């Protein structure tokens, strides 16, 4: 687990970017948990990092909305992402988080690295029934086989351990 505190000094931000670059997936996927106190600009740092990688990417921020609204927002984020297979979500809208994550795996490139950021994961864990298990299965069975870096962020990622 990487923990970042404070975000107002450019030297610290440059160090953080270099640290994040070390996590970029090559070959098999990599999963990284980034926890930080609320309102410490982790989202801002992650967006800036995704932009500087120049890799195909998806950036999704969960809110405290219903599971249906969250899923619709996720689909919208994939459709507006830079993932090469994002058109899969134009052709078929997934009806569940499990289907959405399987479909997401199909949208990822096989030969080039990519980045998925799911920001504020604790909201999904609280709202989406069995989200931890759904995410774990998607990672184990499909996402980890792609050269993707999956960044999960939030203020209380200890929820992933329970």
Q: Determine contact, residues 20/55, Cβ cutoff 8 Å.
A: no
pLDDT at position 12:
44
CATH fold of 29-160 reads: Rossmann fold (3.40.50)
Per-residue pLDDT of the chain (162 residues; tens, 9 = 90+): 444 444 444 534 554 555 666 666 556 677 877 776 655 567 777 788 788 888 899 999 999 899 999 999 999 999 999 999 999 999 899 999 999 999 999 999 998 889 999 999 999 999 999 999 999 999 999 999 999 999 998 876 555 554
Determine the pLDDT at residue 4. Answer: 46
Instruction: Write down the pLDDT at residue 101.
Output: 97
Q: How far apart are CA 33 and CA 152, in angstroms?
A: 5
Region for residue 82 given its phi and psi (left: phi exceeds 0; alpha: psi -120 to 50; beta: otherwise): alpha
pTM score of the predicted model: 0.81
Check residue 42 and give its pLDDT: 73
């Amino acid at each position: 687990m990487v923990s970042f505190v404070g975000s107002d000094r450019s030297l610290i931000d440059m160090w953080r970017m270099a640290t994040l670059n070390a996590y970029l997936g090559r070959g098999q996927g990599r999963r990284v948990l980034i926890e930080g106190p609320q309102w410490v600009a982790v989202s801002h740092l992650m967006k800036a990092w995704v932009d500087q990688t120049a890799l195909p990417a998806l950036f999704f921020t969960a809110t405290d909305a219903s599971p249906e609204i969250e899923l619709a927002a996720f689909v919208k984020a994939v459709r507006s992402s830079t993932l090469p297979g994002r058109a899969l979500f134009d052709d078929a809208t997934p009806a569940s988080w499990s289907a959405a994550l399987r479909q997401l795996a199909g949208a990822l490139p096989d030969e080039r690295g990519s980045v998925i950021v799911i920001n504020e994961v604790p909201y999904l864990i609280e709202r989406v029934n069995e989200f931890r298990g759904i995410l774990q299965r998607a990672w184990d069975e499909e996402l980890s086989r792609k050269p993707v870096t999956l960044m999960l962020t939030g203020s209380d990622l200890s929820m992933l351990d329970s």
